Structure 1
Amino acid sequence: MRVLIASVAERSHFLNLVPLGWALRSAGHEVLVASQPALEPVVRATGLSYVSVGRDHQLRRVMRTRHRAAPGELGEFTMTEDRPEVLTWEYLLGGLKKTVTWWWRMVNEPMADDLVDLCRAWRPDLVVWEPTTFSAAIAAEACEARHVRYLWGADDFGCTRDRFLSQWAERPEDEREDPLADWLTRIAGRNGVDYSETLVTGHATVEQVPPDLRLPTPESIRYLPVRYVPYNGRAALPHWLRTPPDRPRIGLSLGTSVNDWYGDREIDLSEVLEGLAELDAEVVATLPAAERERLGTTPPNTRLVEYTPVHALAPTCAAMITQGGPGTTLTALSHGVPQLLTPSTTMFDQVRTSRLVERAGAGRLLAPDQVTAQSVEREVRLLLEDARHTAAAGDVRDRMAAMPAPADLARTLTSPD
């Protein structure tokens, strides 16, 4: 079977798909990854075959510019909003207009038509796409291939869409506006494809979060569970990581998404390290070189290191401090490590994931404006001393381990029915 994996040029979005890509290859299927030119080095490093489609999007440059010009504007609408009094028709419609205009169109339009041409020429039997690559759903239907949406975290997209459609159905017919359907109808139409909701949610949706971290989701969506298998790209295990720590180790891994998108963090790392200095623990902070330089002198119990694979660091830790990004958070949970979560207010998936982990008892949440040396010391001490958090993280780990492996999902996706 021919399988096309499609992703806009976002490294963290694509890396989630790599374990499935190799499960499909190991089962003998032909796998091709399609993305914009900027992702080529990332894809080639995985060993999967790559083809470039379209041109690179400029979303990060635009978002940085908008963030500098109007810092609060980006947070006016969020998919993590749950308060009924806020979730009005005006709120959902306005938020969808902004999301389509300033995110989904910007990343998809540069690659949509070329991706359709690729699918018509290569004729995949199955297309797997990350949840913002709507152009892949159109390309799949243009060549009559089955296609599935592959989530990187909880399905905020599906839940928000369901809320929107529920209120849309209640509006008078002359007030029924749907910016997402209108936009997809235009792209699909010029490629000979009719609009349907499968262009939004796929013929099925793959979900790699465990039951503890799931959202109440629409019954109209068919979900296929898969075990989260950490893949952080090529990595070499540093020598120091081979030696077990002689006291509890705290891993600090805040990812790169916020810096890449907005150019700065919302928390003061020196405050974090100052708070951790009060603990009888070894602190390992994985940070880019520029951030390590800015920190200058750090407490004696701190080890500053460059990129270290989280899947190798996490098993050695008694606790971790993370930003709530699905990849980092799920990697820590897959090893049963409790976390202090400090999500950026500008990244809805970090906020959602952090809340769900806290709800499961496997972590504690500190909003960026609550992060001080004192609060970090207090919260991490609780993680280390209150066995309930470690037990809850262990329960989540066990439920993750019981989920179908990527090889099982590969068989499901390629079976005739």
Structure 2
Amino acid sequence: MRLLFTALGAHGHLFPLMPLAAAAREAGHHVVFATANDFRPTLEKAGLEPATAGLTIGEAFAAQFPGFEPGLARRELPPEELAATIGRVFGRVMPERFATDLRGLFEQHRPDLVVYEVGNPGGLFAAKTAGIPAIGHGFGRVSSDGLMADIDRSMREYADELGITEEGPAWGTPFVDICPPSVQAPEFLASAHRVPLRPVGWSDSGELPDGVADHSRPLVYLTLGTTPMSKQGVLASAIAGLSGLDADVLVATGPSLDPASLGEVPPNVRLAAWVPQSALLPHVDLVVHHGGSGTTLGAFAAGAPQLVLPQGADQFANAEMVLSAGVGTRLLGDEVTAESVHSDAARLLSDSAVADAVRGLADEVAGMPSPAEVAAQLPQYT
């Protein structure tokens, strides 16, 4: 069977699909993975056949903002205009470009099934207009709040132009859902054709930092993700708070921030531009992070409590999910101070009720179907 996977050009959108794509390849299917050209090396390293389609998020915003720089729109646009622009970028600019590019790819690789990441409905729209079966693949809890309403509005307008009448987020197709049911949106659970899939972490391979696998005292992992944003102040406050714990602190600063810009840090803190997160999480006692879906679900699976410092997009919904599940807490905006981070982190490292909730959620994740099991189901959707 010929499969075409497609995802937006961003780690948080690409990586959730990688385990299923790899499992489908291992099952003997011909897998082509279409995304922005920046991720070609990642796909090749994973043994997947890459194809170039669409834009990166940065390229899409640059098309809307001449002279675009990360954080520029967030700082300079009024909130209503910013929300409308984000809605247009994710709901129209990127899907339209992906749909155009994929139609060309279909002429070279006529797939039996398109597996589209739901943040990239261009994959769905291209498949529907070409008469090819499609199945969605989620990356976390399904939300229609906040910015998602603006994105959905732009998507709906584009779908109407194409004559597509079904509604999102699944648009009438089956939906591979990697979110544990106990924390998934109830309205989505009640209405969607779900195909449950265990969230399996994926990151580029690499060596764990020295001492991680056999640490003798609590290990705290701090990350604000890989997407460029103005985050130096939040990281500095978090580092200051966490460094006062009787714990070791490992900080992944991400590719957009030079670790040297944070200055000298206390001896129990280590800075790294990148770590192999999926390999790291099982060794971590607490995850302090931005609320990205990959980190949130990875911590669920690893059985680690979470302190979430959301910065944008779906991160606020993920922070609420963590709080509601009893597996962690959150700090919003000006609440992020060294003192509050220290206090919350210290409590999460010792709270037995949180530890019980974390174990229960990890058991739920472990009981979900594996990528190999779901890959075996894909032929029935053609």
Give the TM-score of the pair, scaled to structure 1.
0.81
Name which of structure 1's ranges 24-33 and 115-124 shifts more when overlaid on structure 2. 115-124
Q: Does 1:335 align with 2:302?
A: yes
Matched, 1:355 2:320: yes
Deviation at 1:220, TM superposition (A): 4.0
In the superposition, relative to structure 1, how do residues 27 and 377 fare at CA in structure 2: closer, same or farther (>3 Å)? same
Q: Map Cα deviations across residues 265-284 of structure 1 (whole Å, 9 max, x no partner).
A: 28432222222232211111
Amino acid at match of 1:384: L
1:357 CA displacement: 1.0
Counterpart Cα distance in 1 of 2:200 and 2:331: 27
Identity %: 29
Aligned to 1:182: 157
Q: Tell me the amino acid that sits aligned with residue 197 of structure 1.
A: E
Q: Pick the aligned partner of 2:248 from 282, 292, 295.
A: 282
Q: Secondary structure at the match of 2:212?
A: helix
Task: Note if contact 1:321-1:340 (Cα within 8 Å) is conserved in structure 2.
Answer: yes
**Distance in 1 between the 2:168 and 2:286 partners?**
40
Aligned to 1:139: 126
| Equivalent-residue separation in structure 1 for 2:151 and 2:7 (angstroms) | 25
The aligned runs of 1:157-196 (5 Å cut-off) are: 157=144, 179-186=154-161, 188=162, 194-196=163-165
Q: List runs of 5+ in structure 1 lacking aligned partners.
A: 78-96, 166-177, 189-193
TM-superposition CA deviations, 1:292-325 (whole Å, max 9, x none) = 2111111222122231112222222221211111
Structure 1 CA distance for aligned equivalents of residues 282 and 81 of structure 2: 36
Q: 1:264 aligned to 230, 235, 240, which one?
A: 230
Distance 1:160 1:366, change over 3 A: closer
Counterpart position of 2:24: 24
- Structure 1 CA distance for aligned equivalents of residues 274 and 235 of structure 2: 17
Equivalent residue in structure 2 for 1:373, among 338, 342, 360: 338
For residues 261 and 150 of structure 2, the distance between their equivalents in structure 1, rounded to whole angstroms, comes to: 44
Alpha-carbon distance, 1:359 to partner: 0.7
Change beyond 3 A, Cα 1:390–1:118: same
2: CA distance between counterparts of 1:107 and 1:163? 14
Corresponding residue for 1:307? 274
Letter in 2 for 1:280: D
Q: Is 1:68 equivalent to 2:75 in the alignment?
A: yes
**Separation (CA, whole Å) in 1 of partners of 2:264 and 2:151:** 50
Q: Which structure has the greater CA radius of gyration?
A: 1
Aligned mates of 2:242, 2:168 — CA distance in 1: 47
Name the amino acid aligned to 1:207.
D
Cα pair distance change 1:239/1:248, threshold 3 Å: closer
**Aligned counterparts of 1:283 and 1:74: Cα–Cα separation in 2:** 39
User: Gaps (5+ residues) in structure 2?
Assistant: none
Superposed CA deviations along residues 235-275 of structure 1, whole A, max 9, x for unmatched, are 23333334x11211111122122xx2xx3128432222222
CA contact under 8 A between 2:138 and 2:177: conserved in structure 1?
Answer: yes
Q: Is the 8 A contact 1:8 1:108 kept in 2?
A: no
Alpha carbons of 1:122 and 1:393: their partners in 2 closer, same or farther (altered >3 Å)?
A: same
* Partner SS state of residue 209, structure 1: coil
**How many residue pairs align between the two structures?**
372
User: Structure 2 matches for 1:80-95, cutoff 5 A?
Assistant: none
TM-score after normalising by structure 2: 0.88
